[in-house]
Amino acid sequence: MGRFAPSTTGEAHPGTLLAALLAWLDARAAGGRIVLRLENLDHTRCRPAWAPQMIADLAWLGLDWDGVVEQSARRRDHEDALDRLAAAGRLYPCTCSRRDRTGGRRAPDGGWAYPNTCRARPLPAAGWRASTDALRVRLDDGPIALVDEGGLDLTQDPAAEMGDPIVVRRDGVLAYQLVVVVDDAASGVTRVVRGKDIAPSTATQVALQRLLGLPTPAYRHHLLLVEAHGDKLAKLHGSAPATALRARYTGDELCGLLAHAIGLTPAAVPIRPAVLVPHFDWSRVRRDDLVTRWDGSLSYSA
């Protein structure tokens, strides 16, 4: 079972559609199933209208799903996991601000590592739900050995290198690292195919799976579409929203462009994703990030 799990914090962009295509091809080429999970817990960033639009944009590209899960409907399961972590003595409130970490140790994801400062703090007597501080999970110390299917070495001591993850934000929103693990297990996900930007979080997620007694899926991290920002490259984001893409291309045209750009087809001709399935092979998929430009049309430079 595979999954594609976009957050519904805005319109799909070319990077979203490429990630969806790759996760879908990975599942379908193996004769497997795949669910679409809409990550919509962050009510400060997600709008309800983005969810149906994401489904429509993915259908426009030619992708279908064996189920659609809205993360916000899974609150009980998420709270169960938090209850179990609290009962095991793993949850603690963190009163640190972002500024407290700044200038400390750099984490593998480029941010600042959390030095587990508040580990000794107790939960409120009334339980984790009564906390007005952010909550973190005390991970086991020590390395987690991990190499993904593409050969990317993700071995890490997540408690030391990243720091204990936040699982409930100060504003009560349940945080990514925990819910992704709980939701993957609930859907029976055995393969996680996603962009390289998430790769540094994998060891933290495996550590959480172990604490909760959940299985670890196979992981594969793929290239990103990036764009130039001054002399830096950043993940391509808002510059080419799906409404603009759909006004410029048919779904088959965009699928053909993406498939050619990553090495799956010899020419950028319109193609249905289903036509790519019989010959899909990760060894043919480009590994390096792809510099992408949007100026009314999409263009790439190697």
Residues that bind Zn ion (CB under 5 A): 94, 96, 117-118
Nearer to Zn ion, 96 or 160 (CB): 96
* Nearest C-alpha neighbor of 108 from the set 203, 243, 245, 41: 203
Rg (CA), the chain: 20
CB of 130 to Zn ion, least distance (A): 18
- Whether 183 and 112 have beta carbons less than 8 Å apart is answered as no
d(CA 167, CA 156): 19
For tokens 């799909």, the residue is: 12
CB of 65 to Zn ion, least distance (A): 39
CB of 94 to Zn ion, least distance (A): 3
Nearer to Zn ion, 119 or 284 (CB): 119
CB of 145 to Zn ion, least distance (A): 28
Nearer to Zn ion, 77 or 133 (CB): 133
Nearer to Zn ion, 4 or 92 (CB): 92
- Please report, to the nearest 10 degrees, the dihedral formed by the alpha carbons of residues 190, 146, 197, 282 taken in order: -60
d(CA 259, CA 112): 36
CB of 46 to Zn ion, least distance (A): 26
For tokens 């996900």, the residue is: 189
Nearer to Zn ion, 95 or 297 (CB): 95
Nearer to Zn ion, 94 or 224 (CB): 94
d(CA 103, CA 77): 37
Distance (Å) of CA 85 to CA 36, 78, 122, 179: 27, 11, 13, 13
Q: Encoding tokens for residue 33?
A: 């199933």
* Nearest C-alpha neighbor of 178 from the set 230, 147, 121, 136: 136
- The three-state secondary structure class of 225 is strand
Nearer to Zn ion, 96 or 233 (CB): 96
CB of 294 to Zn ion, least distance (A): 40
CB of 118 to Zn ion, least distance (A): 3
CB of 113 to Zn ion, least distance (A): 12
d(CA 211, CA 257): 42
Residue 174's Cβ-count burial label (10 Å; 0-12, 13-18, 19+) is buried
Nearer to Zn ion, 51 or 94 (CB): 94
d(CA 81, CA 86): 9
